[in-house]
Structure 1
Amino acid sequence: MKSISLKFVLVLLAVFMLQFNHASAASAKSTLNVGETLAKGQMLSSPSGRFNLVMQNDGNLVLYRDAGIPMWDTNTDGDVFRYYDTFLGREFQRYPEALTLLPNTLRVTDPSKGIVFWTADVKGWSNAHYKGNVPAGLIGDSLVVQDDGNVVLYATGKGPVWASNTGGY
């Protein structure tokens, strides 16, 4: 009787775990909107779940494909900003903590002090993409992790503003 009960419990546990994993993948967020942040340990996933943009605990923002192959990153792992507070008479250190999306600005920052460690070159990318004829009012407001492996900052109703240029998978 004990072996039947144990088997039943193990089967129920396995079914529960399958449902939990499926629900997690189905509810993963693929878009970051203006005013939102992606904090350490959080990620955006493509709708298929194949691509993940992860704000790592080391401060680096990394795009992974196929469960762990890095494709692109901000190279902010290990970055540190040191400053000396003359009033307190000691040095402080700040680290990259989050990806923040502001209107037309995508950056890795320490939100508590506003220190910027990486900024997407929105102007340069847009000029190259639109061959110098950037549409008027092109303001990025939505960052999307796409199923082709590209991470794109879009201006709603107008088109792309910046991309990681990692599409094609």
Structure 2
Amino acid sequence: MMGRVPYAIRRHNRAMISATAGKCGGAGSSGDVSFYCHPDMHISVFIHESAHSADRGTSATQVWRSAVQNDECVPDPYGNSNFADNFAQVAVLWTHLVGQRQHNNLGGGQFSCMRNQLEQISKALAAWRIQAPRNTLQPGQQLEQDEALTSPNGAYRLVLQTDGNLVLYVSDNTVPANSLWTTGSFRRGPHRFEVQPDGNLVIYDGSNQASWASNTRRQNADRGRLALQDDGNLVFYDNNNQPIWATNTCCFIAPRQ
């Protein structure tokens, strides 16, 4: 079950202890160690306990506490226990919203009463960090803002940032020093990056206007694919597996920061 917890949430969990049922109550954590007393616990319990390790002091900041105090609700009564448990419960909800691709509008009106908390968790746990990794897009598929492609070896990330810029990074430390390529497309969002059926790669802004395009339409790529490769190159292949567009970023191996 722990393997279903997104890596970005469980990465700081140094140990997981399985205790005999009846010898302890429920589940808990201490520092970066979590323990579980029953074999049939829901995945949300594992996410919650792992989120305590992913917290790294965020719930103790004034920014987080102000977000909680300025909102009208928390995810559930347990979220009222303390700020640390509140952070963990919001992380559980955020993981669900990302999995359902409802993260772009922070869950919409259903969760508007906790919008400030969701805005802060989106900064602490970017959606692309907790999504299931993928390295290709086919015609008709898209990246929404704060989503990414990840090379199979995990060394490179193509991130559609919330500012509308599509950036290829070496490493998951998404700082300017690690960027290899960028579209420079800054517009008002929400944004989306589409691999269109006509073979064109296009970024659309919040007004549905194109802010960047590859200009590769009508090149026999309606069944092609855009792939982020292990060598760091982002390549668009046509129906015959021939490259028709690329970022030409091959072989930049080492992160700069």
User: What is the CA deviation profile of residues 53-85 of structure 1, one whole-angstrom value per residue up to 9, with x for unaligned ones?
Assistant: 0000000000010223111010012x3xxxxxx
Relative distance call for 1:25 and 1:109 in structure 2 (3 A) is: closer
User: What is the CA deviation profile of residues 103-154 of structure 1, one whole-angstrom value per residue up to 9, with x for unaligned ones?
Assistant: 32001113x754111111438xxxxxxxxxxxxx642621111110000001
Q: Counterparts of 1:96 and 1:71 in 2: how far apart (Å)?
A: 24
TM-score, structure 2 length as denominator? 0.44
Q: Which residue of 2 aligns with 1:91?
A: none
Select which of 34, 37, 41 maps to 1:12: 34
CA contact (8 A) 2:162 2:189 kept: no
Q: Which residue of 1 aligns with 2:235?
A: 152
Structure 2 matches for 1:21-36, cutoff 5 A? 27-36=132-141
Q: Which runs of 5+ in 2 are unaligned?
A: 1-23, 36-45, 54-128
Matched residue type, 2:34: L
TM-score, structure 1 length as denominator? 0.65
Q: Counterparts of 1:9 and 1:95 in 2: how far apart (Å)?
A: 39
User: What is the CA deviation profile of residues 28-56 of structure 1, one whole-angstrom value per residue up to 9, with x for unaligned ones?
Assistant: 01001100110101001000111000000
Q: Counterparts of 1:119 and 1:54 in 2: how far apart (Å)?
A: 16
Select which of 206, 211, 220 maps to 1:117: 211
Q: Counterparts of 2:138 and 2:34 in 1: how far apart (Å)?
A: 39
Q: Which runs of 5+ in 1 are unaligned?
A: 19-23, 80-93, 124-136
Q: Which residue of 2 aligns with 1:84?
A: none
Q: Counterparts of 1:38 and 1:120 in 2: how far apart (Å)?
A: 15
Report the structure, 1 or 2, having the larger strand content.
1
When the two chains are superposed, the root-mean-square deviation of aligned CA atoms in Å is 3.3
Select which of 94, 98, 101 maps to 2:195: 101
Relative distance call for 1:58 and 1:142 in structure 2 (3 A) is: same
Matched residue type, 1:166: T
Q: Provide the aligned length of Structure 1 versus Structure 2.
A: 132
Q: CA deviation at 1:155?
A: 1.2
Report the structure, 1 or 2, having the larger helix content.
2
Q: Percent identity?
A: 31
Relative distance call for 1:147 and 1:67 in structure 2 (3 A) is: same
User: What is the CA deviation profile of residues 74-104 of structure 1, one whole-angstrom value per residue up to 9, with x for unaligned ones?
Assistant: 0012x3xxxxxxxxxxxxxx54611111132
